[in-house]
């Protein structure tokens, strides 16, 4: 070995040894610092009793969320959506084959399991009819006539990113669905696709508020001047948090979002837990009338059902005033909704699920003679064709979905919607994370998802022997009951005589 090379090797080993000693020393200092910190702190008993090592407990607890999802959970046991549900949306959004082989993995026996009643003589494809049109707001100056069936539910710009809104706008228009703005106001991104838009007015009146936070008629008219805005929805409550307003952390309130909402930038955006000027059904009808007069367009409201007295009071008051005062539609959200950040006490325990509230609402509409006047939109974990078909059987006119479309955009159920760290760019305003979401590509996935759902709902309808999805009725679906036998929905919820509840309420 020559001299210079030998000298180089010695120097290299010396530097490597110094680096090793430095790293080991730094590691010892870090561990020592963590040890002292853990021993002195009083908030975590595990860390105080087992310094440094106790920290692994919290690390593994956090890691367990991801390990369960990818390695340990069975295809149909995760919550809020299992792998099989997510996989369907992913395949449909990518326009891949949605057929499966070797039989269903769904357990068909548990209480509440839904079975559709196939007809002995199903509808031939050549005899099938197109999805029928529905008129919303016949007494409004500009009624909304639409054949749209499966639509994009309320997700605010702010709660989701601008690239997500852009993808939804293009995709909804291409697939044949409307796009609900959510309570965060109307942004330019909602209008990019040139499709139908439903403007949602939340308790903070974002986008239509005056300087004092009240409702501005001038701003309402400005929103209504957009031809794409077809309806106005007054949000009373949403599934994730009945009785609590919207929550948008200040780090997500960018200057552009602040301008859209009419609020200061980088400050927490907290909506009131109800509209201050609406504290009874009379004032709710007054607000509906005001918005409809100012905008000239159909107006309804969104709510989570907590009890049936509300419908009795509302429909009774409508019959006293006359049907013209009625909301043009009601959006019924399920208590198991969840795109909004919410306290667990509300998300887990408050409100009724759609499986109970939707039939009850439809029956009361019929009983008060208002079924033709008021259209019903429903939402809440309805992301597959079977979910949509079930809602139509019960009596819904339209179905909205939020989380289904989040999956179509690429959501992996990372459960970070309330943070600014969404790994797929959907619910974050971090440019580095948003760049992963290509709105052009995702728009096509949104459109494909809509088309697959509409097509497969029609397949269910034809199997049940009807011409098109809106002809589905309660007799077309059976539900497993306590006896282990199934009953049709019209046995569980017998027909209500039209107008039979009017006399009782007067």
Query: pLDDT value at position 350?
Result: 84
Same domain for 65 and 212, yes or no, is no
Tally of domains within the chain: 2
Residue 100 Cα distances to 91, 105, 113, 146, angstroms: 11, 10, 20, 33
> Above 80 in pLDDT, residue 391?
yes
Phi, psi of 399 (to 5 degrees): -125, 130
Same domain for 143 and 55, yes or no, is no
Residue 1 Cα distances to 9, 12, 15, 461, angstroms: 10, 15, 20, 85
Query: pLDDT value at position 191?
Result: 96
Q: Residue 372 is part of which domain span?
A: 125-505
- What are the residues facing 401 on neighbouring strands? 152
Kindly state whether residue 100 falls inside one of the protein's structural domains.
Answer: no
Same domain for 362 and 248, yes or no, is yes
With 0.95 as the threshold, say if the pTM is over it: no
Kindly state whether residue 79 falls inside one of the protein's structural domains.
Answer: no
For 75-134, write each residue's pLDDT tens digit. 556 667 777 888 888 899 988 888 777 777 777 888 888 999 999 999 998 989 999 999
Identify the band that residue 505 occupies on the pLDDT scale cut at 50, 70 and 90. low
Last residue of a domain, one of 34, 51, 72: 72
- CATH number, position 170: 3.20.20.70
Same domain for 57 and 150, yes or no, is no
> Above 80 in pLDDT, residue 353?
yes
Q: Which two tokens stand for residue 256?
A: 């552009």
Same domain for 328 and 398, yes or no, is yes
Spatial separation of the C-alpha atoms in residues 345 and 11, rounded to whole Å: 64
Same domain for 215 and 346, yes or no, is yes
Alpha helix positions (H), 184-299: 217-224, 255-261, 281-295
Query: pLDDT value at position 195?
Result: 96
Spatial separation of the C-alpha atoms in residues 480 and 111, rounded to whole Å: 5
Same domain for 68 and 145, yes or no, is no
The lowest-confidence range among 80-89, 90-99, 406-415, 440-449 is 80-89
């Amino acid at each position: 070995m020559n001299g210079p090379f030998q000298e180089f090797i010695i120097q290299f080993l010396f530097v490597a040894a110094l680096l090793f000693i430095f790293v080991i020393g730094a590691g010892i200092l870090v561990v020592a610092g963590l040890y002292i910190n853990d021993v002195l702190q009083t908030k975590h008993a595990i860390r105080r009793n087992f310094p440094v090592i106790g920290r692994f407990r919290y690390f593994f607890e956090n890691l367990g969320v991801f390990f369960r999802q990818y390695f340990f959970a069975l295809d149909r046991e995760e919550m809020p959506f299992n792998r099989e549900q997510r996989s369907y949306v992913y395949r449909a959004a990518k326009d891949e084959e949605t057929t499966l082989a070797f039989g269903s993995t769904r357990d068909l026996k548990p209480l509440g399991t839904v079975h559709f009643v196939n007809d002995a003589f199903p509808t031939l494809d050549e005899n099938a009819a197109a999805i029928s049109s529905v008129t919303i707001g016949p007494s409004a100056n500009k009624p909304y006539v639409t054949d749209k069936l499966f639509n994009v539910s309320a997700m605010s710009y702010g709660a989701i990113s601008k690239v997500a809104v852009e993808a939804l706008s293009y995709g909804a228009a291409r697939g044949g669905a409307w796009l609900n703005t959510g309570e965060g106001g109307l942004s330019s991104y909602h209008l990019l696709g040139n499709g139908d838009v439903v403007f949602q007015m939340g308790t903070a009146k974002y986008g239509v508020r005056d300087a004092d936070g009240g409702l501005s008629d001038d701003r309402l008219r400005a929103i209504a001047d957009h031809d794409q805005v077809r309806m106005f929805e007054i949000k009373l409550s949403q599934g994730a948090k009945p009785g609590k307003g919207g929550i948008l952390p200040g780090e997500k309130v960018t200057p552009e979002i602040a301008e859209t909402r009419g609020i200061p930038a980088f400050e927490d955006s907290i909506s009131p837990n109800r509209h201050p000027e609406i504290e009874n059904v009379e004032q709710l009808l007054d607000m509906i009338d005001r918005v409809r007069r100012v905008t000239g367009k159909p107006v309804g409201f969104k709510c989570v059902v907590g009890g049936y007295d509300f419908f009795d009071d509302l429909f009774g008051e409508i019959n006293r005033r006359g049907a013209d005062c009625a909301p043009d539609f009601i959006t019924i959200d399920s208590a198991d909704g969840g795109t909004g950040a919410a306290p667990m006490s509300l998300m887990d325990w408050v409100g009724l699920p759609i499986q109970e509230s939707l039939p009850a609402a439809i029956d009361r509409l019929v009983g008060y003679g208002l079924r033709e006047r008021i259209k019903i939109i429903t939402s809440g974990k309805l992301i597959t064709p079977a979910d949509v078909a079930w809602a139509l059987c019960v009596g819904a006119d339209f179905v909205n979905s939020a989380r289904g479309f989040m999956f179509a955009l690429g959501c992996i159920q990372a459960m970070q919607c309330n943070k600014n760290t969404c790994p797929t760019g959907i619910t974050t305003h971090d440019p580095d994370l948003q760049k992963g979401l290509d709105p052009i590509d995702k728009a096509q996935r949104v459109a494909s998802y809509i088309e697959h759902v509409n097509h497969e709902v029609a397949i269910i309808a034809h199997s049940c022997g009807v011409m098109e999805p809106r002809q589905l009725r309660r007799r077309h679906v059976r539900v497993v009951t306590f006896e282990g036998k199934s009953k049709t929905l019209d046995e569980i919820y017998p027909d209500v005589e039209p107008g039979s509840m009017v006399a009782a309420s007067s």
